[in-house]
A and B are shown apart, each in its own frame.
Chain A
């Protein structure tokens, strides 16, 4: 192929910078969203790995505890009597930084003398990187990361703990970490006599396996020997569903981007039909033409991808905060919030961008290459082919919808759920051109009455179907994505609001101040305080709760030991099981009620049994009921206090719900209780409203990132409207010039253009609504269920739908402005001469 050929081909995009840059922007935005989400996910994962690595260090095994952690006496016994080494005692936990609201610091309490082979940071005894003496002696001594400087104040409940730096932790992997002596850690985290775990290094050999087996058999029943790598892996997987959802949403942006690329390339092919025909006539082979157009697309794709990567880096550094915040709220604490640029993410984005461009360019390129040389790739030829293939679009579209439906019906995994979802989207996109034609036909009676301009505008859409069809389909996909996600989030929020309102039906909730310990438990309500509450005449009923975390398949499932007043029982909505018999069985303390996500994940229901690791060793509880719950995607288990007291050595109560007597003034009751209790124990009083508001705040925070992605999809859609419609109108300069010379005014031309783009916007918006609702239904009933096990209501807010329609029309009208401006300024004679 000669350079001349390339020059001829590439001259066109360079002469149409608007078109060129909008096409590049389309690719760039698609790639940027994918790269940003992937970078954010990878960063969060890397932060997690680093945070785990710095805790586990070189340990190959660890002894972990039951509900109380590991008693320190076990460590002493292993080390002194059995000479087990290397072994290191560890206390970990998280405390908020009082100086920087929102920052959680990871506390690592170690015995520097035992650290040697485990972790470097606190192991250097004599080289003087830190003041070992001070670290051991002073209750306020700590090794602090560079970013915290010389001191920091930690908070636990109302208590404040100022710490002074006696050594600096350097490097990003130690950010957000506070290393203290074991004694200090016990004091800070309120765990006297306890360890979080005991680290061991058992070299990888048969001898050590034997040793591990012996150790395992000698441990008390509530302690286990586990491998931290496996544990960390399991923990990292906790957020896998969340990450997958984000990735899928980012791919949606890329799909929209692909439509835009297809639109841009096919448009540029059509525009050059004369040139391409001429080239064919001059002897350029079909293959060469194909390569030429694909090559051009590749250049476009590369430029767009490069820009997309840069945009993605910028966007990703912002998204990572949202991702880590959500992970912090829902899964596990990430004390590192660094933005790590994973080359893998960039490579993935680049590959996707280039491949998507080539895939999108393939059809138009084939089309151009297939056209008979002499006949020139005429518009009429193309349009007639398009119209002829409408039934095919219809058929393939319906087939894809059917396939998508079948995949959704007959598969169970999350990934196949997403595949089904994408099939449905694709099917809807293919149905769009035939539907646009039908819409035009439908609106004909209306436009006939509106006059010549409207009729022209209307029929033009069908006449240019090769481009309008694709443009409308792209816009439809983009807007339907925003509708689908919007409806899903609204439904979810509605479900959570109803759930929390039902569940928290007591008047006051009372708990000690302070954050949860490493097992997810708060401090205990004293027996005296409880007695005061029960004896208060204004109180008719009291429910008590104790939250405790148990480990089921590596997931932190919350066990709630409760003594429920009947009103509290009514707050639980059973989705499975007869309420009467369920609560009767519950009262015995030998049966449990489990939350829906847990039931879904384990595929268990009423009548099945669940084995729980109790303080007396594993025990199997029959399941009496399954309740609706959005409290934890890992699951929650409700067990009566009496049963909890039998199987766990934890007689304490974490919080109390109080039902006021009818007619009791709540504010007065609250004050009276506060006065009476102030002498016994400092307690925090919350109304059900407070807790509901806090729950929804967390919900909204969680979905911030979803909304950001939704906004990005809207942005991509807007760019799509602009580029598609603007190009379409600019191409018709000559046509409009003819109309001008035949007497049409500039204003009328403007009206024509606006009507046409407005119609396309409206078509896209209208079609996006049913597609979006379908998408929402899949997200709600398939994706969310498979990812988290929730069952959600379906709540479509009409305002959201109208908003989408309005947005689509506005974007379309906006897209017409520049072409109108140009056409009204251009002199018709000049425009006529351009060809």
Chain B
């Protein structure tokens, strides 16, 4: 009799343990489509304008929106520090997403096909803290929108705005969760057109390209309020502007994007399109901008990019490279890129890693340093099979 109860007991304990293990297993969310476009607008390109060939850029008009393309973004990142050397990284990105190629019938002021998504992040390097926020709004009734003259793009009280005549000096304001950013960005160098005169081809499919320009160095001053403390800061920011109706190619799995400002005055941008087989797509490319703002296109073969180590997100379980080595043999540049804080994962509707990085390395035998921003996308454990 007793023996039998013993067996039952063991069985129960076993069941209990199994159940506990099952219930406390890490929840790994299946990520559907990661690009903002697919998250909101679907991936139907029909009806939208696409980037087939280089076009003339006109400013300040092109700082404003291009609603006939599906996606567009104003992407500001930067590294700042106060006089005591306490350093911060920040990101403010405003995405415009079209839900349909044509505007809907206006039966109400709220009706629109334009949706805005904002990502705002601050990295407190000393405390190894990273704060990320997200917002959505429709581009109607004044809640969110973009305009060229005078330049302004805003999502509620997150905003980038120029003066009456030009986009620069640009005021950047954002606040959330007890953090306030109030910055002024000056144009340190002229605008850089990426790719082929601003046409940045992303895959072999014609039209799968974006119009892409950057302001790679924007001397920045202003104030950061964090948990009731105000820091007067200065540093350097980077503005990326891109609009397109494009997706990753079928063989591409994600990308890594580097925006590095070297202390010899040069800036380096490179995006590495990853292939599902683990290699680097030949459409990966970048640009090297000299002290005066002269830009040189960097094609696939010109840069050797190697991930260093691995960092596993304790929150999501995603595995990202812990650092990078970039070598440009023609320039005799050999750079090591290290996150200033390991966990700068943006755990938002769209999950990616984006954060402030420190750069060390050598150029032609001399040591060189720098800082910048790094973006790593689509390192989810389970990618959708679609």
Q: Tell me the residues in window 59-105 of chain B with beta carbons closer than 8 Å to chain A beta carbons.
A: 99-100, 104-105
B380 interfacial by beta-carbon distance below 8 Å: no
Q: Tell me the residues in window 73-131 of chain A with beta carbons closer than 8 Å to chain B beta carbons.
A: 73, 76, 79-83, 85, 111, 113-114, 125-126, 128
Q: Tell me the residues in window 104-125 of chain B with beta carbons closer than 8 Å to chain A beta carbons.
A: 104-105, 107-113, 115
A617 interfacial by beta-carbon distance below 8 Å: no
A73 to B143 alpha-carbon distance, docked (Å): 10
Chain A min CB distance to B90 (Å): 18
B108 and A186 form a contact (CB under 8 A): yes
B138 and A113 form a contact (CB under 8 A): yes
Chain A min CB distance to B238 (Å): 26
Q: A83: which B residues are within 8 A, CB to CB? A: 156-157, 175
- Can you give 28 contacting A-B residue pairs, CB < 8 Å? A72-B141, A76-B141, A79-B143, A80-B142, A80-B143, A80-B154, A80-B156, A80-B157, A83-B175, A85-B156, A113-B115, A113-B135, A113-B136, A113-B137, A126-B40, A133-B40, A136-B112, A137-B100, A138-B104, A139-B104, A139-B107, A139-B111, A182-B108, A183-B140, A184-B107, A186-B110, A187-B107, A193-B109
B42 interfacial by beta-carbon distance below 8 Å: yes
Q: Tell me the residues in window 134-164 of chain B with beta carbons closer than 8 Å to chain A beta carbons.
A: 135-138, 140-143, 154, 156-157
Chain B min CB distance to A242 (Å): 38
A137 and B349 form a contact (CB under 8 A): no
Given contacts A126-B39, A133-B99, A139-B105, whether A182 and B110 have CB atoms under 8 Å apart is yes
Q: B109: which A residues are within 8 A, CB to CB? A: 72, 183, 192-193
A192 to B39 alpha-carbon distance, docked (Å): 30
Chain A min CB distance to B119 (Å): 14
A132 interfacial by beta-carbon distance below 8 Å: yes
B41 interfacial by beta-carbon distance below 8 Å: yes
B304 interfacial by beta-carbon distance below 8 Å: no
> Which of A79, A181, A192 lies in contact with B156, CB distance below 8 A?
A79
B32 interfacial by beta-carbon distance below 8 Å: yes
Q: A139: which B residues are within 8 A, CB to CB? A: 104-105, 107, 111
Chain B: which residue is nearest A186 at the CB level? Answer: B108
Chain A min CB distance to B181 (Å): 13
Chain A min CB distance to B174 (Å): 10
Given contacts A133-B100, A183-B111, whether A125 and B136 have CB atoms under 8 Å apart is yes
Pick the 8 closest A-B CB pairs, nearest first. Answer: A183-B108, A183-B110, A183-B111, A83-B157, A113-B136, A186-B108, A187-B107, A133-B99
A81 to B137 alpha-carbon distance, docked (Å): 15
B156 and A136 form a contact (CB under 8 A): no
Chain A min CB distance to B120 (Å): 12
Chain B min CB distance to A72 (Å): 6
Chain A min CB distance to B162 (Å): 18
A139 to B100 alpha-carbon distance, docked (Å): 14
Chain B min CB distance to A68 (Å): 16
A76 and B142 form a contact (CB under 8 A): yes
9 extra interface residue pairs, beta carbon distance < 8 Å, beyond A126-B40, A139-B104, A183-B111:
A72-B109, A73-B141, A79-B143, A83-B175, A113-B135, A113-B138, A128-B32, A136-B112, A137-B113
Chain A min CB distance to B29 (Å): 9
- What is the interface of chain B, defined by CB distance below 8 A to chain A? 32, 39-42, 99-100, 104-105, 107-113, 115, 135-138, 140-143, 154, 156-157, 175, 349
> Which of B108, B115, B138, B156 lies in contact with A187, CB distance below 8 A?
B108
Q: A82: which B residues are within 8 A, CB to CB? A: 157
Chain A: which residue is nearest B159 at the CB level? Answer: A80
A601 to B135 alpha-carbon distance, docked (Å): 49
Counting chain B CB atoms within 10 Å of each CB, which of A76, A128, A133, A192 scores highest?
A133
Q: A126: which B residues are within 8 A, CB to CB? A: 32, 39-40, 349
What sequence of 0s and 1s flags, for each residue 481-498 of chain A, a beta carbon within 8 Å of any chain B beta carbon? 000000000000000000
Q: B115: which A residues are within 8 A, CB to CB? A: 113, 136
Q: B143: which A residues are within 8 A, CB to CB? A: 76, 79-80
A643 to B65 alpha-carbon distance, docked (Å): 50
A522 to B356 alpha-carbon distance, docked (Å): 59
Q: B154: which A residues are within 8 A, CB to CB? A: 80
Q: Tell me the residues in window 174-213 of chain A with beta carbons closer than 8 Å to chain B beta carbons.
A: 181-184, 186-187, 192-193
A787 to B97 alpha-carbon distance, docked (Å): 57
A79 to B156 alpha-carbon distance, docked (Å): 6
Chain A min CB distance to B101 (Å): 11
A122 to B156 alpha-carbon distance, docked (Å): 20
Given contacts A113-B136, A133-B41, A138-B104, whether A125 and B110 have CB atoms under 8 Å apart is no
A73 to B109 alpha-carbon distance, docked (Å): 11
A126 to B349 alpha-carbon distance, docked (Å): 7
Chain A: which residue is nearest B116 at the CB level? Answer: A113
A132 to B41 alpha-carbon distance, docked (Å): 9
The A interface is mostly helix, strand or loop, or mixed, namely helix
A136 to B115 alpha-carbon distance, docked (Å): 10
Chain A min CB distance to B28 (Å): 15
> Which of A81, A111, A128 lies in contact with B110, CB distance below 8 A?
A111
Chain A min CB distance to B111 (Å): 4
Chain A min CB distance to B351 (Å): 11
Chain A: which residue is nearest B350 at the CB level? Answer: A126
Chain A: which residue is nearest B42 at the CB level? Answer: A133
A186 to B140 alpha-carbon distance, docked (Å): 14
A128 to B42 alpha-carbon distance, docked (Å): 11
A73 to B137 alpha-carbon distance, docked (Å): 15
A83 to B120 alpha-carbon distance, docked (Å): 15
Counting chain B CB atoms within 10 Å of each CB, which of A83, A128, A132, A183 scores highest?
A183
A182 to B111 alpha-carbon distance, docked (Å): 8
A76 to B349 alpha-carbon distance, docked (Å): 24
A364 to B135 alpha-carbon distance, docked (Å): 75
> Which of B40, B110, B111 lies in contact with A132, CB distance below 8 A?
B40
A111 to B156 alpha-carbon distance, docked (Å): 14
Q: Tell me the residues in window 325-371 of chain A with beta carbons closer than 8 Å to chain B beta carbons.
A: none
Given contacts A80-B156, A126-B349, whether A111 and B138 have CB atoms under 8 Å apart is yes
Q: B157: which A residues are within 8 A, CB to CB? A: 79-83
A137 and B138 form a contact (CB under 8 A): no
Q: B175: which A residues are within 8 A, CB to CB? A: 83
A670 to B40 alpha-carbon distance, docked (Å): 56
A137 to B104 alpha-carbon distance, docked (Å): 6
Chain A min CB distance to B268 (Å): 34
A181 and B137 form a contact (CB under 8 A): no
Q: B105: which A residues are within 8 A, CB to CB? A: 139
Q: A133: which B residues are within 8 A, CB to CB? A: 40-42, 99-100
A137 to B110 alpha-carbon distance, docked (Å): 10
A182 to B107 alpha-carbon distance, docked (Å): 11
Chain A: which residue is nearest B103 at the CB level? Answer: A137
Chain B min CB distance to A192 (Å): 6
Chain B: which residue is nearest A136 at the CB level? Answer: B99
Chain A min CB distance to B74 (Å): 17
What sequence of 0s and 1s flags, for each residue 144-185 of chain A, a beta carbon within 8 Å of any chain B beta carbon? 000000000000000000000000000000000000011110
Q: A113: which B residues are within 8 A, CB to CB? A: 115, 135-138
Q: B137: which A residues are within 8 A, CB to CB? A: 113-114
A545 to B160 alpha-carbon distance, docked (Å): 52
Q: A114: which B residues are within 8 A, CB to CB? A: 137
Chain A min CB distance to B160 (Å): 14
Q: B113: which A residues are within 8 A, CB to CB? A: 136-137
Chain B min CB distance to A142 (Å): 14
A83 to B142 alpha-carbon distance, docked (Å): 13
Chain A: which residue is nearest B175 at the CB level? Answer: A83
Chain B: which residue is nearest A89 at the CB level? Answer: B110
Q: A125: which B residues are within 8 A, CB to CB? A: 39-40, 136, 349
Q: B39: which A residues are within 8 A, CB to CB? A: 125-126
Counting chain A CB atoms within 10 Å of each CB, which of B40, B111, B135 scores highest?
B111
A184 and B41 form a contact (CB under 8 A): no
Chain A min CB distance to B110 (Å): 4
Chain B: which residue is nearest A85 at the CB level? Answer: B156
Q: B138: which A residues are within 8 A, CB to CB? A: 111, 113, 136
Q: A72: which B residues are within 8 A, CB to CB? A: 109-110, 141
A667 to B191 alpha-carbon distance, docked (Å): 79
Chain B min CB distance to A712 (Å): 51
